[in-house]
Copies of this chain bind each other. A is one copy, B any other.
Amino acid sequence: MINISVLGYGTVGSGVVEVLNKNRDSIKKRAGQEINVKYVLDLRDFKGDPIEDKIVHDYSIIANDPDVRIVVETMGGVNPAYEFVKEALLNGKSVCTSNKELVAKHGAELLEIAKQGKVNFLFEASVGGGIPIIRPLNQSLTADEIEEITGILNGTTNYILTKMSYEGCQYEVALKEAQEKGYAEKNPQADVEGFDACRKIAILTSLAYGMQVDHEDIYTEGITKITDVDIAYAKSIGAVIKIFGTSKKVGDKVFAMIAPMMIKSDNPLYSVNDVYNAIFVKGNLLGNVMFYGAGAGKLPTASAVVSDVVDATKHLGTNIMTIWSSKKLVLADINEMEQRFFVRIPNAQKDKVKDVFGEVEGVAAGIEGEYGFITNTLTEREYKKKVNGFTVRSMIRVGF
Contacts and interface: CB of A to CB of B under 8 A. Distances in A.
Interface string A261-296: 000010010110000000000011111111111100
A351 to B, nearest CB: 39
Interface in A285-318: 285-294, 297, 299-300, 302-307, 309-311, 314, 318
A137 to B, nearest CB: 9
Contacts of A304: 140, 143, 286
Interface of A is mostly: mixed
A168 interface: no
Interface in A108-125: 124
A321 B314 contact: yes
A286 to B, nearest CB: 4
B284 A294 contact: no
Contacts of A29: 210, 323
Interface in A129-156: 130-132, 135-136, 139-145
Nearest to A27: B143
A72 to B, nearest CB: 12
Nearest to A140: B132
Contacts of A354: none
Nearest to A318: B318
A32 B321 contact: yes
Contacts of A288: 292-294
A342 B286 CA distance: 37
